[in-house]
Structure 1
Amino acid sequence: MKKRLLLSLLGLLLVVGILAGIKGLQIFKMVKSGKSFTPPPETVTTAQPHPESWEATLPAVGSLEAVQGVTVAAELPGKVTRLAFTPGTWIKAGSLLLQQDTSSEKAQLQAAEAEAALAKANFERLRLLIETNAVSKAAYDDGEAKFKQAMAQADTIRAAIAKKTILAPFSGRLGIRLVNLGQSLKEGEPIVSLQAMDPMFINFMLPQQELARVKPGLPVRITSDALPGRTVAGKITAINPQADSATRNVRVQATAANKDERLRPGMFATVAVVLPGKTQVLAIPATAVLPAPYGDSVFVVEERQEEKSGKTGLVVRQQFVRLGESRGDFVAVLSGLEDGATVVSTGVFKLRNGQQVVIDNALNPKFSLNPTPDNS
């Protein structure tokens, strides 16, 4: 019985040993094959850096402001007896906007004019009498003062009537009406907004170190989401003589035409100040750049001979670069790359330094300085 058990145990150990040997041989072959395995080349698209002349611009974000804009308000308290404007329409300077009740002032004016007429008649008589020394100089001066006081009182009432006849101070576009017929207005209560929107001001800030490059008359390009696909041309008309002490920025004002009144006061817009002359840059597609916290880099495609086979193939070399401004689909390279090199233009995130590649530019996208995406 013991002999049979011993033989069974030996047989089992023999089987386990054979299986372990076979498995170990398989693992050894896999490791050896893995060391000699060469991954297939990665298919990439490429582009060549090329020198270009770019306009030198200063970007900024600004706010639009009407050349003339005001909220028309009541100067004196009074009841609204007439509304003479239509909200949202264009109106000329001097046109009637609103009439307040002036019945009391008109009655007072009649009395004041009567007093002024009497004071004038008395003064005229005194002037004739003083020529013959029939009255004293004091009586003459008193009559003259009363005449002037009566005239001033009448002018005061006329001014009150004029203030209750509210006219447009300048030509422009009216806003939404803020009062109703029959409403009793208080002093300073708003009536309607009036904005002269052609041309328009755009105010923006520039850093103090850029002030030496900016002067009145320089052209600017204005873009806004209110004008998709359009660029409005303008020019710098004023530069604030004082810088902001908190930000060290200088306020600049440009003026642009706005005949269709698509730009409205209070909107924000993007501004590009066009500087004189052009800048020579080495441009590459922005998709060729692999951003990283420690520095931006590109993959340069080079020919390299394999040590084992002696064959020549294409490999990529990671090259760190210093970038400048972006323009459309391109970005300027300030240093780290030479003209004539070939860089991978898309899919750089899947590459590693020294990896073999194959170039296939059939699917290479078209890069442009002024791209127009289909969904814009």
Structure 2
Amino acid sequence: MAKQEIREVNKPLVENSPVQKRKPSTWKRMLLMLLILLVLIAGIAFGFYRHIQTLIASAPKPTPATVSSIVAQPSDWQPVITSVGSLSAVQGVDVASQVSGTVESVPVKSGGTVKTGDELVQLNIEPDKAQLASLVAAADLSSKTLKRDQDLLSTRTTSQAVVDADAADLKSKNALVAQAQALIDQKTIKAPFAGDLGIVQVNVGQYLSPGTVIVTLQDLSAMNADFLVPQDKVGNLSVGLPVNVSADAQPDKPFMGKITAIMPKIDVNTRNVTVRATIENPDKLLLPGMFVRVSVDVGKPAQLVTLPLTSVTYNSYGATVFVLTAGADGKSKTAKQVFVTTGQTRGDQVAVLKGIDAGQEVVTAGALKLKTGADVVVDNTVQPPNDANPAPQEK
């Protein structure tokens, strides 16, 4: 009996406690709640997925882009060196006074035409004429003295030294006369060549210092066009080659000329060479100082593939075009971007040196909305300009 009581005393007091009975039930409830939460999250995710799929299915499908195209063809291409330059008269000068003096008369008018040797300005020469008369009298006296001493020398009345001194004195007096006469001539300012006058910048009674500009004189019958050419192209130029010159002041009239000089020195700063072409200007339409565009045909025409300028997209990594190829169904067309090497341009065209072969269809408009593999629809109702020699259109 005592042993039984001891065993009962040693049994855990919590064996049948309410806490021990509730513990398995709590874990079950937590697991059930977690399972419900996972099911709820999965349901929300599935609903969101179905919603996205519905939106994607209802979104409008992209339609093929509409572009215009052209079939690349070779054409005759004349290699041309183009540049810009400025005009100057073959003969042109700002007439200035060499000596000082007061303007006595101005026989010419602004904008007039003069011939070689025509008087432009006359300075006051009255004091110089008086001095010239004095020097002439002194020279005349020296001449008479020399003649008298030469006669005395023949009778041995005087010495050879006296005669030599008289001859030297006469030469000195004649030199002074010539100097005075030259000064008078300098005060009569004449046209050094025939040409057109600018605006006369002096007036009667005005005192002129040496170097004062009186009027500009330009011979407009022929003009020089000076332009720069890169050093790698100088070998294609030679004296006598024809040039084509155009000026913004006369957009509808081309001017022809020829190369007359090539600078035998390359500018170390720009690595360019100055070239001069001479252009006949009988109608005086070209004026000194005008900006002109110069083109020089060099070499023989070559066969090059040409495309409109709108076909080529220029990027920092190169020039590209889009080529059209047949789609998988044989009816649609697909765009493919390819790199090209371009050459010179003329008018609305550009020469393609590498990347495009004759016969390939190239996109000419609408390339900005394309990427490789995009389906396109070709509509050539309207084509971009593709003229080698475009003419300006009247507004």
- Interval of TM-score (by shorter of Structure 1 and Structure 2): 0.7 to 0.9
Superposition map of 1:79-158 within 5 A: 79-158=102-181
- The 1-side partners of 2:113 and 2:358 are apart by 58
* Amino acid across the alignment from 1:338: D
Q: Which residue is 2:8 aligned to?
A: none
Deviations 1:265-303 (Å, cap 9, x if unpaired)? 222222112213123211011111122222221111221
Q: Which residue is 2:375 aligned to?
A: 356
Structure 1 counterpart SS, 2:185: helix
Following TM superposition, by how much is the alpha carbon of 1:187 offset from its aligned partner in structure 2, in angstroms?
A: 1.2
Q: Which residue is 1:341 aligned to?
A: 360
Following TM superposition, by how much is the alpha carbon of 1:22 offset from its aligned partner in structure 2, in angstroms?
A: 9.0
Q: Which residue is 1:246 aligned to?
A: 269
Following TM superposition, by how much is the alpha carbon of 1:192 offset from its aligned partner in structure 2, in angstroms?
A: 0.9
- The 2-side partners of 1:46 and 1:83 are apart by 69
- The 1-side partners of 2:199 and 2:146 are apart by 52
Following TM superposition, by how much is the alpha carbon of 1:101 offset from its aligned partner in structure 2, in angstroms?
A: 0.3
Which sits farther off after the overlay, 224-233 or 326-335?
224-233
Superposition map of 1:88-237 within 5 A: 88-237=111-260
Deviations 1:158-215 (Å, cap 9, x if unpaired)? 1111000000011111111111110011111111111122211111222222222211
Measured on the aligned residues, the alpha-carbon RMSD in Å equals: 2.3
1:30 aligns with 2:49: no
Following TM superposition, by how much is the alpha carbon of 1:27 offset from its aligned partner in structure 2, in angstroms?
A: 4.6
Structure 1 counterpart SS, 2:243: strand
Q: Name which of 64, 69, 79 aligns with 1:46.
A: 69
- The 2-side partners of 1:254 and 1:161 are apart by 40
Following TM superposition, by how much is the alpha carbon of 1:39 offset from its aligned partner in structure 2, in angstroms?
A: 2.5
1:28–1:252 distance in 2 versus 1, CA, 3 Å: closer
Following TM superposition, by how much is the alpha carbon of 1:145 offset from its aligned partner in structure 2, in angstroms?
A: 1.8
- The 2-side partners of 1:148 and 1:315 are apart by 100
Following TM superposition, by how much is the alpha carbon of 1:21 offset from its aligned partner in structure 2, in angstroms?
A: 9.5
Structure 2 counterpart SS, 1:315: strand
Superposition map of 1:52-67 within 5 A: 52-67=75-90
Aligned length: 353
- The 1-side partners of 2:78 and 2:318 are apart by 26
Normalised by the length of structure 1, the TM-score is 0.87
Q: Which residue is 2:9 aligned to?
A: none
Q: Name which of 287, 290, 297 aligns with 1:267.
A: 290
1:209–1:366 distance in 2 versus 1, CA, 3 Å: closer
Structure 2 unmatched ranges of 5 or more:
1-42
* Amino acid across the alignment from 2:370: L
Following TM superposition, by how much is the alpha carbon of 1:253 offset from its aligned partner in structure 2, in angstroms?
A: 1.3
- The 2-side partners of 1:273 and 1:128 are apart by 76
Q: Is the 8 A contact 2:342 2:350 kept in 1?
A: yes
Structure 1 unmatched ranges of 5 or more:
1-17
Normalised by the length of structure 2, the TM-score is 0.83
* Amino acid across the alignment from 2:121: L
Q: Name which of 345, 348, 356 aligns with 1:329.
A: 348
Structure 2 counterpart SS, 1:296: strand
* Amino acid across the alignment from 1:28: Q
1:295–1:169 distance in 2 versus 1, CA, 3 Å: same
- The 1-side partners of 2:46 and 2:147 are apart by 142
The structure having more radius of gyration, on CA atoms, is 2
Structure 2 counterpart SS, 1:75: coil
1:314 aligns with 2:337: no
* Amino acid across the alignment from 2:158: V
